[in-house]
Structure 1
């Protein structure tokens, strides 16, 4: 969900949107990027800034055409983009340097308050992008081009499936998808070349990550031709496609899958298993990789937007774990459980009353939770997104390694809704006591509210409407979980345990992520820590730990962001007293898109001062 010129950040942020297209066939013209619009109070410096944002966004969409596709801008719909080449790295760095030069010509003191915030966010993200494209960071990131969590093989099949971000309304849409598919196959070959570079310098993925990727490619290959995710678009057609074109397209898609896609997957699979696996690391942490400690420092700051070090993050995590354990003890007493907390965790994991009997039961449960929240949401929020929300299971081809729940955003024009995905893999491990908190985080008022409200705010520049940072995006979603009392949820102590379990997960991430990448913790040691301190199941704990191994530092953002927002709220409550209005506070946090933590704190401090 985060738009970035950094290839690594781009892969971490690409949304996996999904909707069945049922719109009538129409020849829609390509959507042009909106020109800068002056707002009341704008002066000459504001106009210069908005023009800079517009020009930067146009460059960015050309460099990352897949981002345009997600936004419904079809000008570059026949292109997937270049993820791995030296030429792309140089172009991204040059674009960021041009943006920074332009920014330095603008007098921030003469900007409106809204544009001053935009200026600060743009400077932060641009300087960060330049840092990410420097040779020392490139040498540690681009040569590890895929992992099992964020690799192109994980997000692109969904885009091309006929159920994802790519539209299939016109004949041109189908032809553009064939072109993107061919480019995807070429990108896999380019990734192999990058992997080989890393083998020469010892900068390689862990064997665990490689084995997970091999399994992903095995799954894609095993689908065959007509069972392939890539065959999805030609299983049904919108009205207006002639029978002759339907026949031709089915043949073209089948031939491409057979002759291009499956061979590309097979080449990558064979390379990973026959060549790369032997060179991969036995260790799972970055500290055991050449340059790993420096890279981890870079990733911590990138994820949290704060200059934190691994040790202070680790200690913060330990203190949060201890606090939450005390609250869990209280819930254990409330339900009358007589054993230890560890035995209570085992009870929550194993008792049949907490295990769904079917995927349908999960769906109906989440729909009911959504209806309950709807009755109370306006007590806490004056800003309500226009975008609709759908509830769907995680696609089967990636459910084993996917999270228990996730959110993928829709389009501003409403043609594609936001989607809350729930995972039905290993159904007995999808505990019903975690459903309410998961919905708060992934759907309402978590990701669906934050992402949709930013995108719908036409007063913001595109990079703030459609971009962001993990600390804010995930910090907001974790903060949304704390609103359970106000929204009438978690009244059952078992559901409250689910809320504490989810908060514990984010606290344990501080401990485990830093443990793995700065302290040499093993995979099994990390899984055991999570099982010892929470009721989460082993399936989820394993997937979580393997995620931290694949994308170091990202999991730190959740708790850091949440604590920052809670700190801002506490200051606002202290300043406003009885006049504190949660709707006004939430609007102040949400009305400018995803901000770096220092910028958010400054914004809320200014809002508090103005409200006095």
Structure 2
């Protein structure tokens, strides 16, 4: 693996080696000021964190004026940070210094690329977030008349954003900077589903079907009419415009290539994405080679399980067996799937305390993914609010319950829920020793790496007793190893969508429709899929180093505390932190 790279981890340069002046505010004040200004710039982050001050705001984040504001914001904080002597800070402040410098540097670097020309895709973009929150059960609160009015103002801003998106994508057409055709084809039905009535059955009308009883009859009547008008005269027309644009203009102009390198500046952008999502200086070739090695290793482990269950035939035939085995598709009602995950949680709870003594206070729920996005969604975790009043939610898509295969569900719960994302994110948000800007930080290599590492804890937690469930864990890890090969293949080596799909079919047991959705996810989000395996391998490496260094003194709970207690970190910062801990333990 390539060496890790993090701006700010080396000794400060001459320009940043100036001592703090007597009139300079404390660096903790700078961290607090950065967080406050950032929430104003990115109000959806505030809402996600449970901060209601900006719940009516939605900046036009793809307009040139906003991009200019971003550049000024991150430039200003990078310059202010350089006034402090990092060597004079305490260890936790040094971590915050390194993180803030990374945040500013990577954000400014990202503004070099024309991402505003492709602001909409089928997997992650604003119209999907707005749709998810529109149902009234997401991060946007719907408790008071003001809450309901705040959402209407956000919808007005979204309509402006949508007009800008169309204008930007027309500019992208003129510059041949467009989405792959396969992705556009998936966007069109998403838009169509929200471009029609009846109003009373529309997703965006849902909040007024759940008006709190404590509201007066007059308030309920007024809000109901306001939402009816908004859906009929603003929301539906907005999605009609988007649908018509994608169907009539954008689809004919969409490209036949799959990878970002096919676009002007695409190779440089992919290198930036690798850096962003792995927090390393790995090259695309190094990523691709690492993936190939991991695929080979995991294939050998899968062969062992295949022999254990007595299956005769090659590994590819065993994948088909797992995909189609009726005993692994036992459910007929979606609620049975939800109950199944809750049962996994109950079975593992007694063993959690042997691995963890840091336990989050934030409540947790398992929910079915909303119908409007279920067909193309993956299982996912949405964090709770900072104050713990909104639970962490593990969303499970169940588009066809009779074909829902449970073979990887124990592994999936460990990753998306407990002790994966729910423990890591909730503990970070609840840690009052962290400056506020670090409580909501997300580095995919750390967060997804931690969640993938947690998948390997199943046997220690009393799971994976069924060999098919253990095969599910191997399959999930193989899935992330395949991502290294396929993501780099698509975006750096000219692979087609079909080649990527076939490579996945040849090496994992996921059903073909899931593999197609995954490959198209990689096409829409270059580099993000690399973060899981790179982060997991680093955490595994650090655990092995700690076990070897400490021997009988190694305590798995203490190691997990070291990984979790400082929140999300770039991998180089995490490694330096663990090494300091080991040096201190050895010297004790």
TM-score (norm 2): 0.94
- Are 2:156 and 1:182 aligned? yes
SS of structure 1 residue aligned to 2:195: helix
Find out whether 1:124 has 2:102 as its counterpart.
yes
Which of 213-222 and 570-579 deviates more?
A: 213-222
With over 3 angstroms needed to count, the CA separation of the structure-2 counterparts of 1:339 and 1:458, relative to structure 1, is same
Q: Using the alignment, how far apart are the partners of 1:66 and 1:357 within structure 2?
A: 37
* 2:572 counterpart of 1:598: yes
Which of 416-425 and 76-85 deviates more?
76-85
Name the counterpart of 1:48: 26
In structure 2, what is the Cα distance between the partners aligned to 1:44 and 1:435? 57
- CA gap of 1:531–1:45, structure 2 versus 1, over 3 A, is farther
CA shift for structure 1 position 480: 0.5
1:371 aligns with 2:371: no
The answer as to whether partners of 2:39 and 2:46 remain within 8 angstroms in 1 is yes
Between stretches 554-563 and 119-128, larger displacement belongs to 119-128
Residue range with higher mean Cα deviation, 122-131 or 495-504:
122-131
Listed one character per residue, the Cα deviations across residues 322-369 of structure 1 (whole Å, up to 9, x for unaligned) are: 000000000011111122211111111111101132222211110110
Rounded Cα–Cα distance in structure 1 between residues aligned with 2:152 and 2:317: 54
8 Å contact from structure 1 (residues 392, 421) kept in 2 = yes
SS in 2 for 1:226: helix
Listed as ranges, the gaps of 5+ residues in structure 1 are: 1-42
Q: Which residue of 2 aligns with 1:384?
A: 359
Deviation of 1:492 (Å): 1.0
Other structure's SS at 2:54 match = coil
**Tell me, what secondary structure is at the counterpart of 1:205?**
coil
Match of 1:408 among 373, 382, 390: 382
Instruction: Confirm or deny that 1:545 pairs with 2:519.
Output: yes
Q: In 1, Cα distance between the equivalents of 2:136 and 2:194?
A: 16
Query: Do 2:196 and 2:236's aligned partners in 1 also have CA atoms closer than 8 Å?
Result: no
Residue of 69, 91, 96 corresponding to 1:91: 69
What residue is the counterpart of 2:412 in the other structure? 438
Shift of 1:69: 1.2
1:463 matched residue in structure 2: 437
Q: Displacement of 1:130 after TM fit?
A: 1.3
The residue aligned with 2:490 is: 516
Deviation at 1:101, TM superposition (A): 1.1
Residues 144-173 of structure 1 show CA distances to partners (whole Å, capped at 9, x for unaligned) of 111111121111122222111111111111
Answer whether contact 1:568 1:601 (CA < 8 A) is retained: yes
Structure 1 residue 457, shift from structure 2 partner: 0.5
Q: Secondary structure at the match of 1:231?
A: helix
What corresponds to 1:354 in structure 2? 328
Secondary structure of the corresponding residue to residue 142 of structure 2 = coil
Structure 1 residues 529 and 173: alpha-carbon distance in aligned structure 2, compared to 1, 3 A threshold: same
Check whether the contact 1:410–1:416 (CA below 8 A) recurs between aligned residues. yes
Structure 2 residue matching 1:115: 3-state secondary structure:
helix
Contact map agreement 1:306 1:597 (CA 8 A) in 2: yes
Whether 1:564 and 2:542 are equivalent positions in the alignment is no
Which 5+ residue runs of structure 2 have no aligned equivalent? 1-20
How far apart are 1:46 and its partner, in Å? 11
Listed as ranges, the matches of 1:471-482 within 5 Å are 471-482=445-456
In structure 2, how many angstroms separate the alpha carbons of the residues matched to 1:483 and 1:606? Answer: 25
Q: Residue 506 of structure 2 corresponds to which residue in structure 1?
A: 532
Q: Is 1:168 aligned to residue 142 of structure 2?
A: yes
Question: 1:208-243: CA deviations, max 9, x gaps?
Answer: 111111111011224531111111110022132111
Q: How do 1:95-494 and structure 2 match up within 5 A? A: 95-134=73-112, 137=113, 139=114, 141-222=115-196, 224-358=198-332, 359-403=334-378, 405-494=379-468
Contact 1:46/1:112 (<8 A) preserved: no
- Equivalent positions of 1:26-41 (< 5 A) are none
TM-score normalised by structure 1 residue count: 0.90
Distance 1:430 1:544 in 2: 17
Could you give the per-residue CA deviations for residues 497-537 of structure 1, whole angstroms, max 9, x where no partner exists? 00000000000000011111111111122111111111111
Aligned to 2:44: 66
Q: Could you tell me how far 1:399 is from its partner in structure 2? A: 0.6
SS in structure 2 of the partner of residue 392 of structure 1: strand
Report the aligned-residue RMSD: 1.5
Is the 1:390–1:419 contact (alpha carbons within 8 Å) kept by the matching residues of 2? yes
Matched length: 565
